[in-house]
Amino acid sequence: MTCDLVLTGNVVLTDRVLEGGFVAISDGRVVAFGTGTAPAATESHDHGRALILPGAIDPHVHSRSQAGHEGFAGSTRSAVAGGVTTIVDMPYDDGDLISSAARVHAKIAEGEALARVDFALHGTCHPDEGPLRVAEMVGAGVAAFKFSTYGTHPVRFPRLPPQTLAACFAEIARFGLVAGVHNEDHEVVDAATAHVRAHGPADHRAHGLARPELAEVLAMAQVYEIGAATGCHAHVVHCSLGRGYDLASAYRGMGHRATVEACIHYLTLTEEDDVARLGGLAKINPPVRPRVEREKLWAHLAAGNVSLVSSDHVSWTLDRKNDPDILKNASGVPGLEVLLPLLVKGLTERGLPVTWAARLLAENPARHFRLTHRKGGIGIGRDGDIAVLAPKPRRYLAAESGHNAVDWSPYDGIELPWAVAATYQRGRMVFDGTRVLAEPGAGQFVRPLPGAPE
């Protein structure tokens, strides 16, 4: 058998590393992997001591939050350069809430024209319609649903009250998909924000105090209770607090499908070190917490209580992030280009196996969104999506890479021991370590497997 492509290096599976291993790809799919003599191939790339990882799946991306700015072409350019081969895009697009089959189809068409990597989509429900359009969005191909317990904007990012959320969860449960929720209690945040406005402080601490820990855990308890009541897989799309992972673990212990996601910023940044230095550039909802919470999250990750890791990527232009009043800035940061290198850095520095990167950024999200027929860890029959991480220490500066829609990052200046040396999408090199080779439209829309949840 002569394959189309063979890659050699240290192959990272979900349970072990094959040192001096190989991955063979034909017709865009993995046909063999292992150690020893690799199959003959039309094309071979020897990556030496580099890590051969499954292409990352970022489950939490906002490509279209700022109209006329980043879009699929920009977000997926960052993804390619970061070894991310599939994004799952959020439904809160500026001027276009993705809450009907027509809007899902329109977004698919836009993604197929502009995305450089493969993509799946979240849908959501309009507060006035509740679960009315869930079935049609499932038919259109959404991989999950996203809601919020806090209303940032009544149209673009609305809050669903508990009774509406429960009705939506019950309908989603019929199709076996996941209901993910932004976890901040609306009333607690509004009251805390008013108090901070009236009494201070006016420095970087204002954001964390305006969105206190209680707001986050109260919302999580609501989400998991609604999941328990409806039989729906309840997922919290980001959690900054160790207490939140305790809650998720407790609900799983009671037999419920309750999962939780750690964004890379919560595993990397701290309030006292980074928010104090960066101000609005590090403003994220929920907020980046003190160092003690970051270390709790790593302890939960080591214990297996983190379901997914994501970037929560959004590339606001600098004018939306540099107001001296931190509360006036937009929330969110770009992260697609460094998601994988930052996670591997954190794992290796804490003595955790690099196989966790294959689980948290490939296998687990593929199962979560029912994409295992094509995506996940390296496996026979799955897409030949590969990220190559080479041991090349470097100081990250977003402006220098040229692969991002903005030239700032809260991760600027961080020393990364690993660099993405190549990215392959379905067996084709789309990043050579310097240049993004994938053109807009190279990505494919990926539908979830129908039927019961895994």
Structure tokens at 73: 């072409």
Do the domains 2-52+382-392+407-431 and 55-368 sit in the same CATH topology, yes or no?
no
Report whether pLDDT(453) > 50: no
| Cα 110 to the center of its chain, rounded Å | 20
pLDDT at 155: 78
What would the pLDDT profile of 237-254 be if each residue is shown by its tens digit?
Answer: 999 999 999 999 999 999
Report whether pLDDT(71) > 60: yes
Angstrom distance (rounded) from CA 158 to CA 125? 9
Where along the chain do its domains lie?
A: 2-52+382-392+407-431, 55-368
What is the percent of the chain with per-residue pLDDT over 90, rounded to a whole number?
96
Q: What is the CATH number of domain 2-52+382-392+407-431?
A: 2.30.40.10
What would the pLDDT profile of 370-381 be if each residue is shown by its tens digit?
Answer: 999 999 999 999
Angstrom distance (rounded) from CA 188 to CA 213? 10
Average pLDDT of the residues in 413-441:
98
Q: What is the CATH number of domain 55-368?
A: 3.20.20.140
Residues 6+ away with beta carbon under 8 Å from 168: 125, 130, 131, 134, 145, 147, 160, 179
DSSP characters for 128-173? TTGGGGHHHHHHHT-SEEEEESS-SBTTTB----HHHHHHHHHHHH
Report whether pLDDT(23) > 70: yes
Residues 6+ away with beta carbon under 8 Å from 23: 6, 7, 11, 30, 32, 33, 52, 378, 384, 386
When the pLDDT of each residue in the chain is averaged and rounded to a whole number, the result is: 96
pLDDT at 451: 66
What would the pLDDT profile of 398-425 be if each residue is shown by its tens digit?
Answer: 999 999 999 999 999 999 999 999 999 9
Spatial contact of 359 and 307, defined as CB atoms under 8 Å apart: no
Spatial contact of 55 and 431, defined as CB atoms under 8 Å apart: no
From 263, 402, 414, select the one nearest 332 (Cα to Cα). Answer: 263
Angstrom distance (rounded) from CA 3 to CA 130? 50
Report whether pLDDT(383) > 70: yes
Angstrom distance (rounded) from CA 395 to CA 37? 37
Report whether pLDDT(452) > 70: no
What would the pLDDT profile of 317-366 be if each residue is shown by its tens digit?
Answer: 999 999 999 999 999 999 999 999 999 999 999 999 999 999 999 999 99
Where does the pLDDT of residue 454 fall: very low under 50, low under 70, confident under 90, or very high at 90 and above? very low
